Structure 1
Amino acid sequence: MASLRQWFAKDSWDWFNRNYIIDWVFVFAFWLISHLISFIPIFERNIPLKDESIGHKHTHEQISSETNRLISLSIPLTITTAIGFVRRSSVHIHHSWLSALAGSGLTRLVTEFLKNRVGRLRPDFLSRCKWDDDLKACTGALSSVQGGRKSFPSGHSSTAFAGMTFFVLYLVSQSAGYTSSKLCRLFIITLPLFYATWVAITRVEDYRHHVGDVVVGGIIGLVSSAVCFLTYWHNPFSKASPSPRSVYGEMGEAIERPRRDEYQLALGSEV
């Protein structure tokens, strides 16, 4: 801890207070409740056996949930943490993790709730179901059949757009001091969103979701992540500032006040 205090600015640990602890409790609650929802019985719609939209073949998915979640969170958080260490700001690192995990957690909570309550059948549901005319019931594996009732909204899409929306907003905010080029900023925005869009497209290609599922999932991830990001960071499109926002108490001074060496450098340049 002592070495960390020496590395970071003197007041970098001012974020460690009750208000932020409460925020972290809510983040933990988002993830916990979204997990507990999986134990609630899914709303079971009637099965329209002649509906061609749910009669597609069950195929191998191009990207798994675990891989998608890992990419959508690990890449942005690794980069933001590295930048925070370079800038010697634990506030930078803290706000990055808090806003990213809050956005992804809120996204997951909304997504899982809707999946459970809407119960829309996936495009490959009949292939999972293996309907038996004599039994008048599905004979496929229970886990596969139940999973086939969770088409709306797309969890892959919401997860990818949540992580990449955070990443886009963060990159734009950090690039403000390095370039004023509109096309450069557009390029920065395009790369992460290209990944999220690709994930959404694969879900339709793999017959895991209908088009409306991935569109709504993407909107959920985008909105949830943007709201959480703007809670702890400045709007990168209206205020060019790479620093986290002042949120509680004296955090404004801890975040906005330049470090002592930067201040002395500024005075020296004036002289």
Structure 2
Amino acid sequence: MALNIFSLDFGHRHPKMDSRRRRQLIISYAPDWVVTIGLSVLFLALGTLPGFKREFSLDDKTIYYPFAEHERVPPVALFMICLVSPLILQAIINALTVCSWWDLHTSYLGLILSLGITGTITQFIKLTAGRPRPDLIARCMPMTAADPPLGLSTVSICTQTDSHIIDDGWRSFPSGHSSLSFAGLGFLAFYLAGKLHLFDNKGYAIKAWITLVPLSAAALVAVSRTMDNRHHWEDVLAAAILGMVVAWFAYRQYYPSLSSELSHRPYSPRIKRDEQLLPTLSHHLVGAEQLMPEDDDQTRYRDRDFSDDVELPYQTLLREHGPSNNQWKDHTGSQVAGAPYSQG
């Protein structure tokens, strides 16, 4: 009874994709990987820039919190949480459900795209917003206790000699830990929801709880940033929204809506099957245009048996309704060679 919540056949194993077709698929998605990896490199490069440092007031009590030497979620732990753990869990989920190399590749591409876009946007906003962190005064160690008579204080009053500590003190908005956590674990949550058919109108509460586990972990990471006095609550909230929006955007690039009956499957591969390249249908079949829809995108979810090589639409129709004698005759009325033989 419990296995029914997944609405999938765990015992079914799909045909393996041959090495030639797999190589073609990798080449067809090379631009996606180039963009995704490029965004990740840009994210890391932006982190090395000093950024804008906004003026501040020494009377602002919201930036007087103590500086935490040790973070509850250090950068290495964040890397494990937002990237490594989703990669491992998506592989396990794939093995327990569709068991498809194509689905695994697509899920990895979507995850890294989500993190790359989120990280780049986050770093860009950090550098340009220049909002002081709650622990700025402890980092700055100002030489005076009062603002200038006719203005605000600037970084010039700081006596801190560590440039990294100083530069990082003006990167409060938005929270990078929060945005990346929700980008990675948010994508994992969408991936889980699709495999579980969360919105199948059957109302299994356990599906919702399972889907919310990654989001709960992301929320804990976000809250820890306020506990460490690294961010204001507005920084964390805005970052969480950013991460979730980008995760949804990246997920929908490669997967259908969560309300779809085939939400557990990624979109069909971009390259065509070998059978689609043969001229027999278009040259010898009368009425083939009725069997082959004009818009291939409209039929890419209709195949019932998921596999790395997607079944052609006309094969699905013939399997469900059987061959029609009229559809397998040429314009002279003669039976076409290779067509299904009918005794009737």
Q: Is the pair's TM-score, using the shorter chain for normalization, greater than 0.5?
A: yes
- The offset of 1:254, in angstroms, is 9.7
- 1:174 maps to what in 2? 195
Listed as ranges, the matches of 1:38-117 within 5 Å are 38-59=47-68, 60-85=70-95, 87-117=98-128
Q: Which protein shows a greater Rg?
A: 2
- The offset of 1:226, in angstroms, is 0.8
- 1:9 maps to what in 2? 17
Give the Cα separation in 2 of the matches to 1:15 and 1:109.
30
Distance 1:15 1:207, change over 3 A: farther
Cα deviations by residue, 1:62-94 (Å, 9 ceiling, x for unpaired): 111220221122122112223445644211111
Is 1:139 equivalent to 2:148 in the alignment? Answer: no
Distance 1:156 1:15, change over 3 A: farther
Is 1:157 equivalent to 2:160 in the alignment? Answer: no
- Partners of 1:99 and 1:228 within 8 A in 2: yes
TM-score (norm 1): 0.84
- Partners of 1:69 and 1:160 within 8 A in 2: no
Which has the larger helix fraction? 1
Identity %: 28
Q: How many residues end up aligned between the 2 structures?
A: 256
Cα deviations by residue, 1:17-65 (Å, 9 ceiling, x for unpaired): 5441001010011111111212333101113111101011112321112
Structure 2 gaps, min length 5: 1-13, 146-154, 274-296, 312-318, 320-344
- The offset of 1:228, in angstroms, is 0.6
Alignment equivalent of 1:195, drawn from 202, 217, 220: 217
- 2:139 maps to what in 1? 128
TM-score (norm 2): 0.67
- Range that drifts further, 108-117 or 51-60: 51-60
Cα root mean square deviation, aligned: 2.9
Q: Which has the higher contact order (CA 8 A, sep 6+)?
A: 1
Listed as ranges, the matches of 1:15-54 within 5 Å are 16-54=25-63
Structure 1 gaps, min length 5: 1-5
Distance 1:258 1:200, change over 3 A: closer
- Partners of 2:172 and 2:235 within 8 A in 1: yes
* Code of the aligned partner of 1:69: F
Give the Cα separation in 2 of the matches to 1:136 and 1:43.
13
Give the Cα separation in 1 of the matches to 2:306 and 2:56.
63
- Range that drifts further, 93-102 or 82-91: 82-91
- Partners of 2:24 and 2:271 within 8 A in 1: no
- Partners of 1:7 and 1:88 within 8 A in 2: no
